[in-house]
Chains A and B, each alone.
Chain A
Amino acid sequence: MPERLPSYSAYISADELLNELYGKKLIDCDDSIIDFLTQHQHSKRPPFYLNFLIGLGAFIASVCFISVIVIGFAIRSDEGFIIFGFIFCVLAILLQKIVEGSDVGVVKNSFFSQSLFYFMMSGKVLLCFGMASMFDFSWGLSITLLLVTASTYFLYPVSIDRFIWCTAFFISLFVNILWQRDFVGYRELIFNGLILFYAVSAVLLMTNIKMKFDYAPLLYSLLFSLCISVLFLASHNKFGYWHNEEVVGVLFATWLFAGCLIFAIHGIAKGSSKPKNEALVLAYLGVFLFPVFLILYYYNLDISLMDKSIVLISSGLALLAGRFYISFKGWDKEIFA
């Protein structure tokens, strides 16, 4: 019989989990937990294909409706963008509160929520466009993004919206530092300081056991921005103004990430549960972005094809040796679902 492809985890029912916790005296025999799970089971989120369908429809409808408003009111000036952006944002927030408090059913709730999401996105884009134009200097966009994101973070508690706008703000900081003419001479110091700030903030958020869902988008945004920064520097690290070429080094970031990786591996090998449980989603992000980094890194290596082949094969053999070591130690024993 051919071997089955193993699963990462066996099926555990909610009943089994609660009994386990009760047996360890970590919870009481309390019906409120069952009631909570029952209620959430019946009001669970739609599956991804339904969300995709609803999202696609909401996107098209929102684009059409916003076109009606923009064409109808002939928005052309910065003030017009700001006013309508503000109106869209306020409407989205108010209507979201109404939808959340009503009992319209899961599908309608999801449809309204997604439509309001596109309203909020459009409102923020109009707001940022208008305000950034009014500020009329390079940091204007970053300041605008900070104001818009901070003011709506708790008023409009939608994870994807929080993630997108936090990421936009962090990326804008990154862009300003790399291309701002005022930083000639100490650009590398400021950039690496920014990397350190992102990394420390992410670690603080990740290790804070009391971190609620509210801050998860911020954490993912920090880590995603870090990844984007590294990927960009893997492909392009020379910034030149008026024939004064500057190189932003990646040595500090390399040491920082290598240290984090060693620490994480050490923690995992010791059986620490915290990295396992809280970083699984981030691990999938890493799996997606890591090949991109490898492609950029090796493609841009300034060595001959022959030397590249030696580097690639050596790197690959080192990773394969790691894999066989894990297998030899039995750390990859499989669970069949």
Chain B
Amino acid sequence: MNSDKVFSLEHLRADPRMVEELYAHDKISPEARAYALDYLSSANQWGLWCSRVLLAIGSTLVLSGLIYFFAFNWSKIPPLIKLSSIQLGIVGCLIFTYFYTLKRLIGQNFLFCASFLVGVFMAVFGQIYQTGADAYKLFMMWSLMIFGWILISNFSPLWILWLAVTNLFIILWWDQGALPDHSMKYMVFIYLVILNSALLSLREYFAGDKDKFWMQQPWVRGVLVLAVLIPMAFPIIILIMNPSSNFSIIASAGLGLLGHTVMYSLYRYQRPNIKALAATILSLCIIAEVLALKVIAELPGMSDILMFLVMAVATLTIFSVTAIYLRKLMDILEVDHA
């Protein structure tokens, strides 16, 4: 092709949509379109896809069947059999993990199943012995018991499972165990931010380590960024909707604002990433929008028509400025990477 063009097509990824657009604008023939689509699709794309779908759905059906079996026979099964069958499942998964090793995906999946079954065991144990323990203790023990496995697993989904379990533990512990008074009610957001930020920091710290490629997958960062942003944004929005002098909500909201600033700085300058940056900016935009709507709704002497009109203008302004700024950042970060 003509190499005199300034714009290089080497950095432009070919995809089926591009081919369809070329065909729709009569740039290529039907034969060229068919060949191009076939060229872009891996010969085994569908085979790989079918294999994964069958594995996922087949495993789910078998597990569901086992759950129904236990549900049907629950009252007839002695406690010893209940507990020992789950333990057998855990041991079996661990044996398969050892056999396939943690270097293979199937081995990691078995370790994931074993970790999940630990939670099932805790639930059945609590149900059989009716210890009266609070639910947070179940999640606490679950989190502690599988922590060693996740450290050696090199498997991102297992880390996310542990993160979810630990977050649930903290939320439930705060409500059932800590029993905070009104002034400390919202401190739980701070603890969640600290935990999830720690994990995100680890992820970013090892981002450049080639041996840790398993945690460098983009979706891991996405999940962790959301896990940090949500407990940071919530107290700010709560404070806006219900202003109060409650210490914990003010502290949580303050930490939230500080956290947003830190995340912006991190993903703008130190570890440039447009998606994480966009999530942070979107969170700030939503906070600004809530603040604007709250202020406008409470302005004295406004008719409904005027209120909605001012809200519309304020919304247009906030989101337009945000979108334009984000677009500029996209161009800047692309230039930096180039």
Closest to A268 in B: B46
B59 interface hit (Cβ, 8 Å): yes
User: How near does chain A come to B101, taking the closest CB pair, in angstroms?
Assistant: 9
How many residue pairs bridge A and B at CB < 8 Å?
292
Residues 257-301 (chain A) with a chain B CB within 8 angstroms? 268, 271, 273-277, 280, 283, 287, 290-291, 294, 298
A256 interface hit (Cβ, 8 Å): no
Closest to A22 in B: B1
User: A209: which B residues are within 8 A, CB to CB?
Assistant: 30, 33-34
User: How near does chain A come to B163, taking the closest CB pair, in angstroms?
Assistant: 19
How far apart sit A68 and B28, CA to CA, in the bound complex (Å)? 49
How far apart sit A334 and B289, CA to CA, in the bound complex (Å)? 46
User: A319: which B residues are within 8 A, CB to CB?
Assistant: 54, 57-58, 61
Q: Taking each of B25, B34, B68, which has the highest tally of chain A beta carbons within 10 Å of its own beta carbon?
A: B68
Q: Which residue of the partner chain, among B10, B25, B55, B102, contacts A36 with CB atoms under 8 Å?
A: B25
How far apart sit A61 and B73, CA to CA, in the bound complex (Å)? 56
Q: Is the CB of A46 within 8 A of B327?
A: yes
Q: Is the CB of A332 within 8 A of B48?
A: yes
How far apart sit A33 and B22, CA to CA, in the bound complex (Å)? 8
User: B48: which A residues are within 8 A, CB to CB?
Assistant: 6, 8, 331-334
B271 interface hit (Cβ, 8 Å): no
Q: Is the CB of A21 within 8 A of B50?
A: no
Q: Is the CB of B60 within 8 A of A291?
A: yes
A26 interface hit (Cβ, 8 Å): yes
Q: Is the CB of A1 within 8 A of B9?
A: no
User: A290: which B residues are within 8 A, CB to CB?
Assistant: 57
B305-334 interface bits toward A, Cβ cutoff 8 Å, 1 = contact, 0 = none: 100110110011011101110110010000
User: A275: which B residues are within 8 A, CB to CB?
Assistant: 46
Closest to A334 in B: B48
User: A276: which B residues are within 8 A, CB to CB?
Assistant: 37-38, 41, 45-46
User: A57: which B residues are within 8 A, CB to CB?
Assistant: 289, 315-316, 318-320, 322-323
A24 interface hit (Cβ, 8 Å): yes
How far apart sit A139 and B163, CA to CA, in the bound complex (Å)? 52
A33-71 interface bits toward B, Cβ cutoff 8 Å, 1 = contact, 0 = none: 110111011000011011011101110110011011001
User: How near does chain A come to B65, taking the closest CB pair, in angstroms?
Assistant: 3
How far apart sit A58 and B1, CA to CA, in the bound complex (Å)? 42
How far apart sit A331 and B43, CA to CA, in the bound complex (Å)? 9
User: B211: which A residues are within 8 A, CB to CB?
Assistant: 1
How far apart sit A46 and B328, CA to CA, in the bound complex (Å)? 12
Q: Which residue of the partner chain, among B25, B46, B72, B282, contacts A304 with CB atoms under 8 Å?
A: B72
User: How near does chain A come to B32, taking the closest CB pair, in angstroms?
Assistant: 4
Q: Which residue of the partner chain, among B13, B19, B154, contacts A13 with CB atoms under 8 Å?
A: B13
A6-17 interface bits toward B, Cβ cutoff 8 Å, 1 = contact, 0 = none: 101111111111
Given A15-B10, A71-B305, A111-B320, A313:B32 Cβ within 8 A: no
Q: Is the CB of A309 within 8 A of B69?
A: yes
Q: Is the CB of A213 within 8 A of B20?
A: yes
User: A186-194, A246-254, A322-330: which lies at the B interface?
Assistant: A322-330
B280-309 interface bits toward A, Cβ cutoff 8 Å, 1 = contact, 0 = none: 001001100100000000000000110011
User: B66: which A residues are within 8 A, CB to CB?
Assistant: 309, 313
Q: Is the CB of A4 within 8 A of B72?
A: no
User: How near does chain B come to A286, taking the closest CB pair, in angstroms?
Assistant: 9
User: B44: which A residues are within 8 A, CB to CB?
Assistant: 331-335
By secondary structure, the B interface counts as: helix
Q: Is the CB of B16 within 8 A of A280?
A: yes
User: How near does chain B come to A59, taking the closest CB pair, in angstroms?
Assistant: 9
Given A14-B9, A277-B16, A54:B323 Cβ within 8 A: yes
User: How near does chain A come to B138, taking the closest CB pair, in angstroms?
Assistant: 25
Number of residues in A with C-beta < 8 Å to the partner? 100
Q: Is the CB of A61 within 8 A of B319?
A: yes
User: How near does chain A come to B16, taking the closest CB pair, in angstroms?
Assistant: 6
Given A29-B1, A312-B62, A332:B50 Cβ within 8 A: yes
Q: Taking each of B21, B29, B39, B213, which has the highest tally of chain A beta carbons within 10 Å of its own beta carbon?
A: B39
How far apart sit A273 and B38, CA to CA, in the bound complex (Å)? 6
How far apart sit A100 and B10, CA to CA, in the bound complex (Å)? 29
A200-242 interface bits toward B, Cβ cutoff 8 Å, 1 = contact, 0 = none: 0000000001101100000000000000000000000000000
How far apart sit A155 and B68, CA to CA, in the bound complex (Å)? 53
User: How near does chain A come to B13, taking the closest CB pair, in angstroms?
Assistant: 6
Q: Taking each of A54, A210, A332, which has the highest tally of chain B beta carbons within 10 Å of its own beta carbon?
A: A332
How far apart sit A212 and B30, CA to CA, in the bound complex (Å)? 12
How far apart sit A304 and B40, CA to CA, in the bound complex (Å)? 49
Q: Is the CB of A17 within 8 A of B65?
A: no
B91 interface hit (Cβ, 8 Å): no
User: A160: which B residues are within 8 A, CB to CB?
Assistant: none
Q: Taking each of B65, B278, B326, which has the highest tally of chain A beta carbons within 10 Å of its own beta carbon?
A: B65
Closest to A317 in B: B62
User: How near does chain B come to A21, taking the closest CB pair, in angstroms?
Assistant: 5
User: B28: which A residues are within 8 A, CB to CB?
Assistant: 21, 26-27, 33
Q: Is the CB of A308 within 8 A of B316?
A: no
* 7 examples of A-B residue contacts, CB within 8 angstroms: A14-B14, A26-B32, A49-B275, A53-B278, A276-B45, A315-B65, A333-B47
Residues of chain A whose beta carbon lies under 8 Å from any beta carbon of chain B? 1-6, 8-22, 24, 26-27, 29, 31-34, 36-38, 40-41, 46-47, 49-50, 52-54, 56-58, 60-61, 64-65, 67-68, 71-72, 106-108, 110-111, 209-210, 212-213, 268, 271, 273-277, 280, 283, 287, 290-291, 294, 298, 304-306, 308-320, 322-323, 326-327, 331-335
Residues of chain B whose beta carbon lies under 8 Å from any beta carbon of chain A? 1-2, 5, 7-14, 16, 18-22, 24-25, 27-55, 57-69, 71-73, 102-105, 108, 154, 211, 213-214, 217, 274-275, 278-279, 282, 285-286, 289, 304-305, 308-309, 311-312, 315-316, 318-320, 322-324, 326-327, 330
4 cross-chain pairs, A with B, having the tightest CB-CB distances, nearest first = A57-B319, A316-B61, A312-B65, A331-B47
Give 14 A-B pairs besides A13-B12, A313-B65 with Cβ atoms closer than 8 angstroms.
A5-B105, A12-B13, A14-B10, A16-B10, A46-B327, A61-B312, A107-B324, A268-B50, A274-B34, A280-B41, A306-B69, A312-B62, A316-B65, A322-B54
